[in-house]
Amino acid sequence: MDAPKVSVIVPVYNCEDYIARCIQSLLAQTLREIEIIAIDDGSTDKSGAILDRYAEKDQRLRVFHQKNGGVSAARNKGLQYAQGTYIGFVDGDDYVEPDMYQELLATVDHRAEVAICGYDLQFVGHRETRPCQGAPLIRITSPSDFYMQYFWKSPNLWDKIYCRQMIEQRRVFFSGDVGEDLLFNLELLPHLKTAAIVQKVLYHYVQRKNSIIHRGNWKILRQGDLFENYLVKFCGKASMEEEQSPLLYISFFSVLTGYLCSAKTASRPFGSLKHHIYKLTWDTQLCAICEKAMQSGELYKLRKKCLITPAFYQIEKWLCFLLKHRMVRASSAVIWMISRLYVKSHLEDETTLFA
């Protein structure tokens, strides 16, 4: 096999009903110089056996089996074995268009550190299409503006390819199993100089209806305690330079919005949620970041750009005030109520509070 131009890392855990379609879509890529690295993260169903059968027939697929360590451990193992110039990520229950990586690679053409494409979200009886708008090549002069335009509603890994050399030079790896994709992107974003854009919808994200409430599903767990991981990694350790503070505050409101809309937040008993908020206000820089974030004016920018609705603007403004003053019971009540209302409306009416 020729040296791969793109390595696609697929973490797999108990998705036997979907993994065959996923792997078939990757092996059908028009880009021949591709390697698929599937990490079976201790699946207890037939996922691992299905992967092995495909690997026997096509040498472009390499399969590694490990004890269950979570999605971050699986992706980190994939990064260790990746040989491609660019790296992509695919979830085991999703699938891609045959020309996805050909299109992304042709657009990036060694001129950018990241390439982004459009995608669709597939629910039971419902589909949302989200093309990626923009010029084929974008020079990034403001990481916070780029975040608002391209990462606010899609802080994902799977609609992108990344320069492997950049990842290795910056020593960026995955940590934690909640919100690891957003944290990975936030670590890379200050170092991105140029991005390539493919407007076509090339990735299909499949959200199984029952996974909304099942705690074992990675896609829901990612937003469950992302708030805490984010505060520890980016705020508590002050890992961003002062000139990157707009990105810090923009991403803070992104994480806060995700926390408010999380099914895991909504599923917590009120006492448990209150204890979690209490812990955050005393163990992290939450109070200080709420005050600085509101002073920065970045929340108003999000409202002005219609990235959040007027209702969410007022809710987050009020919530930051409560958290800043460590009003734990009141802030917990707001978070508990909003998360339950959001999840209920999302499941029953398939509507969203986002603009």
Model pLDDT for residues 83-115, shown as the tens digit of each residue? 999 999 999 999 999 999 999 999 998 789 999
pLDDT of residue 266: 82
Q: Which residues contact 303 (CB under 8 A, 6 or more apart)?
A: 310, 313
Structure tokens at 177: 């199993």
| Strongest mean pLDDT among 3-12, 177-186, 242-251, 291-300 | 3-12
Token pair 């020593």: residue: 171
Which helix (H) or strand (E) segment holds residue 65: the answer is strand 61-66
Give the CA angle between residues 163, 153, 300 to the nearest 5°: 115
* Percent of the chain clearing pLDDT 90 (strictly above): 50
Model pLDDT for residues 144-176, shown as the tens digit of each residue? 889 988 988 788 999 999 999 999 999 888 876
Q: Which residues contact 44 (CB under 8 A, 6 or more apart)?
A: 14
**What average pLDDT does the segment 229-233 reach?**
74
Beta-strand pair 34-41/6-12: parallel
Mean of the per-residue pLDDT values of the chain = 85
**What average pLDDT does the segment 24-47 reach?**
97
**Could you tell me the pLDDT band of residue 306, with boundaries at 50, 70 and 90?**
confident
Residues 269 and 316: their CA atoms lie apart, in Å, by 21
Q: Which residues contact 99 (CB under 8 A, 6 or more apart)?
A: 29, 30, 31, 202
Lowest mean pLDDT among 13-22, 191-200, 262-271, 307-316: 262-271
* Distance (Å) of CA 321 to CA 117, 200, 286, 313, 353: 37, 41, 11, 13, 21
Question: Would the pLDDT of 58 be above 80?
Answer: yes
* Percent of the chain clearing pLDDT 70 (strictly above): 87
Residues 207 and 200: their CA atoms lie apart, in Å, by 20
pLDDT of residue 238: 46
Structure tokens at 335: 């978070």
**What average pLDDT does the segment 309-335 reach?**
93
**Could you tell me the pLDDT band of residue 274, with boundaries at 50, 70 and 90?**
very high
Structure tokens at 344: 């209920």
**What average pLDDT does the segment 66-89 reach?**
95
Model pLDDT for residues 239-248, shown as the tens digit of each residue? 445 555 788 8
**Could you tell me the pLDDT band of residue 41, with boundaries at 50, 70 and 90?**
very high
pLDDT of residue 227: 74
Which helix (H) or strand (E) segment holds residue 248: the answer is helix 245-260
Structure tokens at 25: 């879509």
Q: Are 325 and 271 in contact (CB under 8 A)?
A: no
Model pLDDT for residues 125-151, shown as the tens digit of each residue? 778 899 999 999 999 998 888 998 898
pLDDT of residue 103: 96
Q: Can you give the pTM of this predicted structure?
A: 0.84
Higher pLDDT, 312 or 344: 312
